[in-house]
Amino acid sequence: MISITLSSNRPHIIILNGFDRSGGSAISRSLAQHPEVELFMQPFNSGPVRRKMYQIWNDDVATDEDVKFFEGLEKAEILRDYIKSHWFEKYSTTQSFIPGRVHLIKTTLNHFLIDWCQVRFPGIDQWAIWRNPWEILISLIRNEFIGEWYVTALEELSPVVRTTSLLAPFRKFLGGLDNPHAQAAYLIAVRSYFLFNYVKNDRVIFYEDFYDNPSNGLSGFLNAYNLVPLEIEAGKDLNIAGTFSPDNRKAIELVDLESIELISSIFAVLTDLIKTKFPERRLSS
């Protein structure tokens, strides 16, 4: 078994955020195969973070309970009363911090927390997963998650878009989101746009790289924490919800045809940002 000593006995603490169906479960569970990496799986799926996931977090939004929890994380302490998630209980590799290990917190809810968290708690590293938004949308449709997971999401998100200057490019679409596929695309684009405006360029994992070669795709993460390379089996289904579908890129026919032009315009706002941040990359269409 591979074992190395990290530069500090203090645990490294990382929040890895990506939209649903962005490959977060596969990526985080692959990283957890490394003997120096521990996984906290979806600790925020119920509780305060989920209830406020469509608010832009700041010191007025965050309660004393929120601050206490994230202060604890930064000190390598976990306040269990804050966590109301069966995913955490079932799929985490540990439920407490282990000295010297890298602790990876996988989440799909923390898009609007990133700026506040980076400023208030710089000891917690913030990472993001980029996956082509069309692939995310198609996977959501294929797995029939759209109606189930986002019932009130647009209602909660709309006032945030109208009042947040960073999200102004998305205001023009609010009047035409009648189709569930377009609504889901809007959620993907807006939340991801906010996240990628704030995440550091060297703290992004590209799903396409991981899909093509898992070991190479995760090398940037491992290198960031001086971890030795990890050999990962390609094509293994590591989802904890939904199924792995390698032909997602060929399944555009699943999207409502009347909404494709609108969805393309919505996604263009997001992909233009990614092209600006990563001009050296050729994004898949």
Domain holding 31: CATH number?
3.40.50
The answer to whether residue 243 is domain-embedded is yes
User: What is the full DSSP assignment across 114-163?
Assistant: HHHHHHH-TTEEEEEEE--HHHHHHHHHHTT-HHHH-TTHHHHHHHHHHH
Q: Under a CB-based contact definition with an 8 Å cutoff, are residues 134 and 182 in contact?
A: no
Residues of the chain with pLDDT below 50 are: 1-7
Q: Smallest Cα–Cα separation from 269: which of 175, 215, 197?
A: 197
Q: What is the pLDDT of residue 7?
A: 42
Please work out, in degrees rounded to the nearest 5, the angle formed at the alpha carbon of residue 148 by the alpha carbons of 144 and 151.
130
List, in order, residues 6 or more apart from 242 with CB less than 8 Å away: 21, 139, 142, 143, 145
* C-alpha dist (Å) from residue 237 to 132, 176, 212, 267: 19, 36, 14, 27
Distance CA 165, CA 256 (A): 30
Which domain covers residue 115, as residue numbers?
12-277
Q: What is the pLDDT of residue 224?
A: 94
The answer to whether residue 282 is domain-embedded is no
Q: What is the pLDDT of residue 3?
A: 34
State how beta strands 124-130 and 102-107 pair: unpaired
Q: Smallest Cα–Cα separation from 104: which of 34, 46, 49, 171?
A: 34
Q: Smallest Cα–Cα separation from 148: which of 25, 236, 21?
A: 21
Q: What is the largest CA-CA distance in the chain?
A: 56
pTM of the model: 0.91
Q: What is the pLDDT of residue 205?
A: 98
Note the residue count of the chain: 285
The answer to whether residue 6 is domain-embedded is no
The answer to whether residue 123 is domain-embedded is yes
The answer to whether residue 3 is domain-embedded is no
Q: What is the pLDDT of residue 193?
A: 98
The answer to whether residue 285 is domain-embedded is no
The answer to whether residue 4 is domain-embedded is no
Q: Smallest Cα–Cα separation from 210: which of 229, 191, 188, 234?
A: 234
The answer to whether residue 7 is domain-embedded is no
Q: What is the pLDDT of residue 10?
A: 56
State how beta strands 124-130 and 37-41 pair: unpaired
Total number of domains constituting the chain:
1
Check residue 218 and report its DSSP letter. T
Distance CA 275, CA 285 (A): 12
Q: Under a CB-based contact definition with an 8 Å cutoff, are residues 72 and 78 in contact?
A: yes
